[in-house]
Amino acid sequence: MTAQWIERAPAKVNLTLHVVRRRLDGFHDLESLVAFTGAGDTVTLSAASDTSLTVEGPTAAAAGATADNLVLKAVEALAARVPGLRSGAFHLIKRLPAAAGIGGGSSDAAAALRLLASANELSVSDPRLLEAAAAIGSDVPVCLDPRARLMSGRGDLLAGPLAMPVLFAVLVNPGVPLETREVFARIGLRSGEELGYGAHPAVPQALSSDALFALLKRGRNDMEDAASVLAPVIGHVIAVLSAARGCKLARMSGSGATCFALFETCRAAARAASVMRRDHPEWWVKATVLR
């Protein structure tokens, strides 16, 4: 029987995203409270003599050329650090929209790294995995162990996992891809310049539901205004989410264009998602939980 390993690649949601400064190396220092959804892609690795990747699923067409997929970049990055790395045949089922601010490609790459760790009997805490993740992209390290936490720096500085209550959410992507670099360019910070909008609120290790919502309301997404100029539909999406019955908070995730709303109950989130699918069939809408 052929050895096979399977990993989920959950969507990442930036509950907050504070831009601190543009660094001298061109990257931006951020502070972001991140959670992960019950929705996501699936990555499978089967033992084979050569590395390969096949992609299918409802959003596969938007995922770009297979040769450029971050799953294959993950193999390259880890092989450069682990001599004799065993790889194989990857199969990716894409359900998440691309260039959407929810880390779909980054989570796929992180899942591929976990699969390679299993196939090569490496610990997921092996520092070479984290080095490979950071080499692939800024969002990949936080996706390597997909649990709620505060991340900072360019995404490479990770606090420990948080004891956070489950959040009921609706994610909406209006079908407009946004490149992160374009949003940062619109913000327009010069090298070494700080944004100056204020520090991120302190995040305790354990959070009650009330404390979490109070913290989130003190936070913000500093990329939202710039993204909304590039894609005005984002403002419409946030308005629709905010107007949904039972919505406690609506905000953009990452660099957009995916937005989210948080609800008190699973039923309220499911009801809101159903209404949005009916009224906006062109949108990608997903009711889910965040952890």
Enzyme catalytic residues: 12, 139
Task: Give the chain's length.
Answer: 291
- d(CA 62, CA 177) in angstroms, rounded, equals 9
Q: What angle do CA 219, 177, 221 make, to 5 degrees?
A: 5
Residue type present at position 95: R
- d(CA 259, CA 116) in angstroms, rounded, equals 32
- The sign of the CA dihedral 145, 146, 150, 152 is positive
- d(CA 156, CA 112) in angstroms, rounded, equals 18
- d(CA 270, CA 18) in angstroms, rounded, equals 29
Whether cis (ω within 30° of 0) applies to the bond prior to 202 is: no
Buried b (16+ CB within 10 A) or exposed e, 25-36: eeebbbbbbbbb
